[in-house]
Amino acid sequence: MHRFEEIKCIGRGSYGSAHLVRSRRPDCPHGRFVVKKIPMELLSPKEKDQSFCEVELLAKLKHPNVIEYMENFVVDNVLHIVMAYCDGGDLADKVKKQQKIREQIVGPENDLADPRGYFPISQVLDWFVQMAMAIRYLHGQRVLHRDLKTSNVFLTTENVVKLGDFGIAKTLDSTLDQAKTVVGTPYYMSPEVCESKPYSYASDVWSLGCVLYEMLSLRHAFDAPNILTLILKIVQQDFAPVPPHYDAEVSDLLSKLLDKDPEKRPSMEEILTMPYIRRHMQGLVASGGSLKVKGTSGKVPENGARPSINEDDDDDDSRFHAEAEELMNPNFQSEYSEECIDSLQIYYGPKDGSNLSPNIRANAN
């Protein structure tokens, strides 16, 4: 860590902690990054494998709306994962701040019919489209995020979404494969996960619906005082209507995403090619809104790591617009290319790490 100066700890999780750091390199005096520290001695063999798989996964993912991976190294038996820093915080903080703003405006009664203090629908759909683009990319790589929630949706100061925290993501070897492990955050868990049934990409679609609901209503789609009651609500009950000032089309979108039957939920392509979403994307592209993707500030910590985010800004911008225009094309075909399907083949494999790349295995020893 001699290359970085620690600024502060910004979070702790089940496997480690996240720290905001500043580069000590003379040519990068203001570059800030996030370093995720994972103590190896505290982990079981399975947990070690999951940590290394997260590194493998991050290193292979490249999308304007996915957190940028820089490098990894091991110091004193602690795995360090260096990632781009999103200077706009996360969506959970945005929702909490908006809740306070609304309380100040409408008072403690919190009349749901009062439209004041909610996010504008244009802002909600702006964030939603970017999240959907990121998840579409992940699913194209056969990756389930499995823990999509507002606190894992990071933002730049320009309101560009960066999806992060792939600690429990899973790569499926076939588009027909289904995961079976119960993981995720309770508020955002799909009914099939709650019932310990096999699940696939539709589970991420459900979680995206929960995030959309939270952006619209400033509260969870399903809430309860304990986990058992929460699971019963998710499995058996419908979500409460969103504030009535929002248009009927977004309510219809929510009902599709939060369908109890995973077979009836739309795929990410189907979501992004819905007329309602297409119209919003066209408006964003025409106005030069947040679909104009810019990276966060900073340069690569060491030679040989990934290119600087700043150097990739134009590529990210053009790629995002190309992707948006493809989805807005009425002749768009909902199919992944073979190159896209075959580009990522990592998985949670043997505990000896034989599925990992040589450099990661070397760091593990």
User: Which residues are the active-site residues?
Assistant: 147
Distance CA 125, CA 121 (A): 6
Helix axes 275-287, 121-140, angle to 10 degrees: 110
Whose tokens are 């106005």? That residue is 287
* The dihedral sign for the CA sequence 109, 115, 116, 119: positive
Joined together, the tokens standing for residue 223 give 């809430």
- How many of the other CB atoms lie within 10 Å of CB of 105? 11
Distance CA 2, CA 116 (A): 49
Distance CA 341, CA 328 (A): 22
Residue 130 Ramachandran class (φ > 0 left, ψ -120 to 50 alpha, else beta) = alpha
Distance CA 182, CA 160 (A): 30
Closest CA to 170 of 79, 66, 53: 53
Give the strands of the sheet with 17-23, arranged side by side: 4-12, 17-23, 32-39, 78-84, 69-75
Q: Give me the amino acid identity at 261.
A: D
3-state secondary structure of 32: strand
37 is in an annotated binding site: yes
- Check if the beta carbon of residue 108 is closer than 8 Å to that of residue 100: no
3-state secondary structure of 100: helix
Closest CA to 168 of 199, 209, 191: 199
Binding residues for ATP: 37
Binding residues: 37
